[in-house]
Amino acid sequence: MIKTNYLSSVQKKSLIGLLALTLLVSIAGTGLHAQSLTGPEIIRKVDGAPVPETLNATLTMKLVNEKGEKKVRKLEAWKRGTESSVMVFRKPDSVAGIALLKTVAEDGREKTWLYLPSLDMTKEMGQESENRNFMSSDFTYEDLGSRNVDEYTYSLLRKENSNGETAYVVEGKAKDPEKAGYGKIKSWIDGKNWKPKKVEYYDREGKLIKVQQNSNIEKVGDYWVVKKMTMKNKGTGSKTTLTWRDYRINRELPEGVFNPQNLPKLVEEG
Amino acid sequence: MVNLKNRFGSMLVVSALALILVFSAGVISYGEKETTREPGDGLSMLIVDRTGSFATSMGTEMLARNLTDQLSANVRAKREIPEEFGGKDPFDIVFVVSKRVPQVWVLTGFVPYKAPEDKRKALKGVHKLANKVYNREGSSREVVGIVDDLAPAAWASYLSRYGWLGRPERPQSN
């Protein structure tokens, strides 16, 4: 009994000491980790943020050219994860019915299809440079989320605090500027939701060519979404604003919606 | 040896020119085939867009819409220049959106300045429309006819020979 009490006392002291040490180390470790997030770690958080399994929404695209002339286009979009998406122009009549489908093949290659209703033709798009622009706007497909993050080397430049919010300023430099879409990308990433609030795009010579501002970053269900994006082209003076509405998340999508052969049916049903 | 090479080269050039002339003769001569369309119907047109580019394809769609809405044209489309015989109803105009050069060829089975007045006017309107839709933001393509360049002239001859391009009917003599 005496032996047991003696051992218990030692054990208790050791246990308390061990617990205190563990707690201290873990608190210090957590604080240290938050302080020392690296550029690649932040980008991994951005890239790995959860996305809905399926999504259906409407999109308004406002194009303003260098002369200040405006064009507004309305589209309906369906998405599955980050792999497949289809968009159908609904307005104005001059472009209504045109549809764009993106899929990822089994070998990982992206494929893009364009349905042209007046020609009754579905075309697979090639890799021409002009295809990089999303529907003739100031956004490229890369800007809208299909960028291969491995094409850049990231470093954290600084942390900025304003109105109690933290933004990580991360710079991504192209590993192979000939292959990557830009020479350099500088992003202001919101520490709360890991969404970029602002992005600056530089060409291979280091000249600022485009600035993207994201606003209306809101939570829909369990997911953070950017509801408004504006891209200003510093070279041409043109501007594109994309506004997303009517989010429907994780609902069943129309059957065969990502099959190129079904594009005419999808367009008609709208 | 040098002379032989030169002679061989010259023969090649002469042969190529002869080939083009033979085909062109087929284009220029009028009225062997009769079209089944009624006068007053819209022109029938075929658009061959060989590109895989977004901006150009959008231009092609716009061209088809404008041709249908403004000229009441009957428009069909293909991805490649047809090879087999075209059948009984040849097209008035075939557009070829080239994959290799930034051009759109407006092919006709007749030489524009020898065509009847209405065809000439329609062709002028078609050139204007094509220029408008293929020369805008993100896209720039030269619109050329059969008298502007060798390639469209050769393709027009080819398509005429295989029944894809029609020729204007001869004016009725009283």
Contact state of B68 with A65 under an 8 Å Cβ cutoff: no
Q: Calculate mean pLDDT across residues B148-172.
A: 84
> Rounded to an integer, what distance in angstroms lies between the CA atom of residue A115 and that of residue A119?
9
pLDDT for res A184: 95
Whether A201 and A152 have beta carbons less than 8 Å apart is answered as: no
pLDDT for res A140: 85
Q: What is the pLDDT of residues B93-128, one digit of tens each?
A: 999 999 999 999 999 998 888 888 888 888 999 999
Q: What are phi and psi of A108, to 5 degrees?
A: 90, -5
How far, CA to CA in Å, does B31 sit from each of A13, A53, B26, B170? 111, 62, 10, 6
Q: CB contact, 8 Å: B51 with chain A? A: yes
Contact state of B53 with A128 under an 8 Å Cβ cutoff: yes
Contact state of A123 with B56 under an 8 Å Cβ cutoff: no
Could you tell me which residues are beta bridge partners of residue A169? Answer: A158, A188
> Rounded to an integer, what distance in angstroms lies between the CA atom of residue A207 and that of residue A174?
14
Contact state of B77 with A128 under an 8 Å Cβ cutoff: no
Q: What is the pLDDT of residues B56-102, one digit of tens each?
A: 898 999 999 999 998 889 999 998 888 777 777 899 999 999 999 99
pLDDT for res A74: 97
Segments of chain A scoring below 50 in pLDDT: 1-4, 25-34
Whether A61 and A240 have beta carbons less than 8 Å apart is answered as: yes
Residue in chain B nearest A100 by alpha carbon: B54
> Rounded to an integer, what distance in angstroms lies between the CA atom of residue A54 and that of residue A253?
7
Question: Which residue has tokens 């609904």?
Answer: A90
Minimal Cβ distance to A119: which of B51, B55, B61 = B61
Residue B6 has pLDDT above 70, yes or no: no
pLDDT for res A125: 87
Q: CB contact, 8 Å: B135 with chain A? A: no
Q: Which of A206, A146, A170 is nearest to A45 (CA)?
A: A170
Contact state of B61 with A116 under an 8 Å Cβ cutoff: yes
Nearest CA to CA, how far is B63 from chain A (Å)? 9
Residues in A closer than 8 angstroms to B76, CB to CB, are 119
Structure tokens at B4: 């032989």
Residue B34 has pLDDT above 70, yes or no: no
> Rounded to an integer, what distance in angstroms lies between the CA atom of residue A217 and that of residue B172?
71
Q: Which helix (H) or strand (E) holds A225?
A: strand A223-233
Contact state of A130 with B53 under an 8 Å Cβ cutoff: yes
Sequence-separated (6 or more) residues with CB below 8 Å from residue A252: A54
Q: Calculate mean pLDDT across residues B134-162.
A: 90
ipTM > 0.85 for the complex: no
Nearest CA to CA, how far is A68 from chain B (Å)? 14
Whether A115 and A267 have beta carbons less than 8 Å apart is answered as: yes
The Cβ-side half-sphere exposure at A77, using a 13 Å CA radius, reads: 24
> Rounded to an integer, what distance in angstroms lies between the CA atom of residue A58 and that of residue A89?
10
Residue among B46, B57, B75, B78 with most chain A CBs within 10 A, to mutate: B57
Contact state of B52 with A126 under an 8 Å Cβ cutoff: yes
What type of residue is A78? Answer: W
pLDDT for res A198: 96
pLDDT for res B10: 57
Diameter over CA atoms, chain A = 96
Question: Which residue has tokens 């770690």?
Answer: A41
Task: Please calculate the CA angle A241-A238-A132 and round it to the nearest 5 degrees.
Answer: 75
How far, CA to CA in Å, does B29 sit from each of A158, A172, B8, B171? 76, 64, 32, 14
Four-CA torsion B44, B46, B47, B50, nearest 10 degrees: 180
Whether B67 and B129 have beta carbons less than 8 Å apart is answered as: yes
pLDDT for res B37: 42
Residues in A closer than 8 angstroms to B51, CB to CB, are 126, 128
Q: Calculate mean pLDDT across residues B141-155.
A: 94
pLDDT for res A163: 80
> Rounded to an integer, what distance in angstroms lies between the CA atom of residue A179 and that of residue A107?
19
Nearest CA to CA, how far is B33 from chain A (Å)? 27
Sequence-separated (6 or more) residues with CB below 8 Å from residue B143: B103, B104, B106, B127, B130, B131, B134
Q: What residues 20-49 of chain B have any CB closer than 8 A to a CB of chain A? A: 47, 49
